[in-house]
Structure 1
């Protein structure tokens, strides 16, 4: 938790998503990797101009996802190059994190170490679940040992719990609160809560149920919009915003400068107590 507090000086930080275009080696790759880099840099420029609080890079378009044991070295290499390009744009003005789908947590840590990133977002930190790409096993012990092994202690680890696009039937007898407490006990730096799928609203009652029960930041991981941020503002601690920042609010589209600007203007007003 101290790692994240050190990164974010403003109340309720907003983390903007860069959903990287399909990478080499994936089914939808367009053979235009230089264009992929340019697009990522352009979206970083939009976020800087829009006064976003942080950026999270993710290989969201690498459909269909594979589990980490099947990730090729090309994914790590290409995401590293993109991370460096984004860092050239933000010049350490903004914290920058990375997520590697699916459950490429060690890969994300390695990139964060090599590219001087500030945090990673992880899947499968505590308790196994069945995701659309297969069974995801808990790996907190492996990830934190690896972070220590590569001397990446400065890299924060925010962790999804009861994550989207997944079945949690095998842990149905473990409550959200018990899962959150387990993640805290296993040294997570922040908890990410989501709706059932990308773009779906996070259940506000889920967030409320964890307030005062854990001493970790509660981070909204999906479904945040201009219309609902007023409600979330009162109960959560931060938000990752992807779909809303895209043209027409669809995650597959490009980042829309006007949507970023208007959303962040509302955040500024909320911080000032104007709304």
Structure 2
């Protein structure tokens, strides 16, 4: 079975964030262009993420961020055939779920669904109890893709990754488990991915960091999905910048050929 290729639409700084410069119309044109590039490259899905809003809030973002994210995610849903996901950094998972529900997006990425982590935003506790109840209350058909031993963080409730993955999939209610390296540019060890796949046999396992043009073949063979958005897939290798169609095309083509 071929892995799901998920491109990243990394948003520039949004209104209300420290480095905001673009108007709403400029942001709308930006996401339309990004969706078009990914779609033409053969990518099946995309996550819309407020990467430009650093430094990030821990788990609740201001109303203006939710409003703008809703506008932009809806534009991607309307203007493309991509399966669309939402990630509101650092861990505004309930708000991401609300945006996904309102816009018709299919899934969210939740960095910390359960457990407790020391992060560069401070101590963050998982709110799976809140997010799953919100989804039930809304009767929303939105899937939750959640990280295990998430990047840019150290677990305080420190258990082996296979135990954390089982807790995430069973007690946390994740629909898919994401495995990443310690930072965004760094991929997870292949052995770590295998351990997680063995631990959560009935749930998809996705790669959440470090995919490059030099290593993607290794992960296409083992993972159920790749979240792709590092420097190799950006114009001028600009982190958080515009997507590079040619790189995505190469990855999609070769991954599909490998798993025929």
TM tier, shorter chain?
Answer: over 0.9
Q: Partner of 1:61: helix, strand, or coil?
A: helix
Whether the 8 Å CA contact 2:221–2:259 is kept in 1: the answer is no
What whole-Å deviation, never above 9, does each CA across 1:187-233 have from its counterpart, x for those lacking one? 21000111111121121111111232212111000111222122112
Cα offsets for 1:1-30 (capped at 9, x unmatched): xxxxxxxxx620100000011001100101
Q: Deviations over 1:56-106 (max 9, x none)?
A: 10001101101223x11001100010011111221xx32111011111101
TM-score, normalising length: structure 2: 0.94
1:195 to 175, 181, 201: 181
Determine the C-alpha separation between the residues in 1 that align with 2:229 and 2:22.
25
Alignment of 1:88 with 2:78, yes or no, is: yes
The answer to whether structure 1 residue 74 and structure 2 residue 64 are counterparts is yes
SS at match of 2:135: helix
Contact conserved, 1:191 with 1:216, CA < 8 A, in 2?
yes
Residue among 127, 134, 141 paired with 2:115: 127
- In the aligned structure 2, how far is the partner of 1:234 from the partner of 1:252? 27
Structure 1 unaligned runs (5+)?
1-9
Structure 2: stretches of 5+ with no match in the other structure: none
Q: Displacement of 1:33 after TM fit?
A: 2.7
Q: For the residues of structure 2 that align with 1:52 and 1:43, how far apart are their CA atoms?
A: 11
Q: 1:16 to 1:110 in 2, by over 3 A?
A: same
**What SS does the aligned partner of 2:162 have?**
helix
What corresponds to 1:114 in structure 2? 102
Aligned equivalents of 1:241, 1:136: Cα separation in 2: 25
Provide the aligned length of Structure 1 versus Structure 2: 257
Cα drift, residue 251 of structure 1: 2.1
* Residue of structure 1 in register with 2:161 after alignment: 176
1:216 matched residue in structure 2 = 203
Q: Do the aligned partners of 1:96 and 1:118 also contact (CA within 8 Å) in 2?
A: yes
2-side partners of 1:236 and 1:259: how far apart?
19
Q: Distance in 1 between matches of 2:109 and 2:197?
A: 21
Q: 1:31 to 1:14 in 2, by over 3 A?
A: closer
Secondary structure of the residue that 1:191 maps to in structure 2? strand
Separation in 2, partners of 1:21, 1:205: 35
Contact 1:199 1:251 (8 Å CA) reproduced: no
Q: Structure 1: which 4+ aligned runs deviate by more than 4 Å?
A: none
Task: For residue 133 of structure 1, report the CA deviation from its aligned partner.
Answer: 0.9
